[in-house]
Amino acid sequence: MGSLDYRLILKQAFEQRTRSNPQYSLRAFSRDLKVAPSQMSGIMKGTLGLSRASALVVGKSLGMTKREVEAFVDLVDARHARSRTSKKLAKIRVRQRFKGLKEKGPSLISLDQFKFVSDWYHLALLELSYLKSFTPDILWISRKLGISTATAGAALERLSRLGLIVNKGSVWKTTEDWSVVGEDCPSAAIRAFHSQLLKKAELSLALQNLEDREVNSTIMAIRKNKIEEAKGLLKKFHEDFCMTVGEMESMKYEKDEVYCLTTAFFSLSQPVLK
């Protein structure tokens, strides 16, 4: 039931709100969801739970549909229902609902997987773990990546649940040396991922010193039947660049900075309409 914990939904909602408003607090979240601040703090830490009545209020306050509220309440009942029968029946409904989602096909990935693909800082956090200065501290990670502590904490927790990073004593280590965004991921997630990094690239032009960045643009007229060949060349360059500069097999823990390579090859003579 770990991956079906209703607290993940609350943490996800809180993370989204802190990203939109860095000043947004847990107290404000409690107010908006009509839950006492002390109780909300305990819920997020896993020391307190929600009642069925409170779960209904929280679900509606989060703007869920009727079916989503029912699913959320079942998740709460599966953990906190007072009677054994109610808890057992809720668990059965949760499993049936989850099984139904999985049987619809591989295009339906979990919330964790979607967030991993669509938000740039997950891959950046994995790469941070290779730095010799890496500190598995939420505040350090948030400052290093320029994200809120809530976002950093949620990202670290999500990567851990997905098995992409593990805690060995006081040390966090990635389980894979190479991470890519697969072609089977939802297009919305991929668009969000690239959009975020293009915006980061734009910020680097204004905020980073020239010696810390390299940005080039070339405008050219081409034959349209050369596009596939051009894309192939760009993919090969990307792979060769990452293999050479990233030094995947050597100096694994001697790296001291995390960089992003973003190339954009697109038509200027086909305006993008908003």
CATH number for the domain including 69? 1.10.260
- Rounded Cα distance between 111 and 12, Å, is 9
Q: Check whether residue 121 and residue 99 sit in a common domain.
A: no
Same domain for 175 and 232: yes
Same domain, 98 and 186: no
Do residues 113 and 149 make contact, with C-beta atoms less than 8 angstroms apart?
no
23 and 112 belong to one structural domain: no
Q: Tell me the pLDDT band of 108, cut-offs 50, 70 and 90.
A: very low
255 SS3 class = strand
**pLDDT tens string 177-216:** 555 544 444 456 677 788 888 888 888 988 889 888 888 8
What's the rounded Cα separation, in Å, for the pair 258 and 127? 7
**Model pLDDT for residues 159-183, shown as the tens digit of each residue:** 888 788 887 766 777 776 555 544 4
Distance, in Å, from the CA atom of 144 to the CA atom of 259, rounded to the nearest integer, reads 12
**Per-residue DSSP letters for 104-123?**
T-TT---HHHHHHHH-THHH
pLDDT digits (tens, 9 = 90+) for 20-52: 787 889 999 999 999 999 999 999 888 999 999
Supply the DSSP symbol for 207. H
- Digit-coded pLDDT (tens) for 231-266: 899 988 988 888 788 765 555 557 888 898 888 887
Q: Which pLDDT does position 104 carry in this prediction?
A: 43
Strands 171-174 and 165-168: antiparallel
Total domains in the fold of the chain? 2
Domain membership of residue 147 as a residue range: 107-274
Q: Are residues 74 and 119 in the same domain?
A: no
> At which of 70, 85, 104 does a domain end?
104
86 in the same domain as 124: no
Q: Do both 117 and 157 map to the same domain? A: yes
Residues 89 and 203 in one domain: no
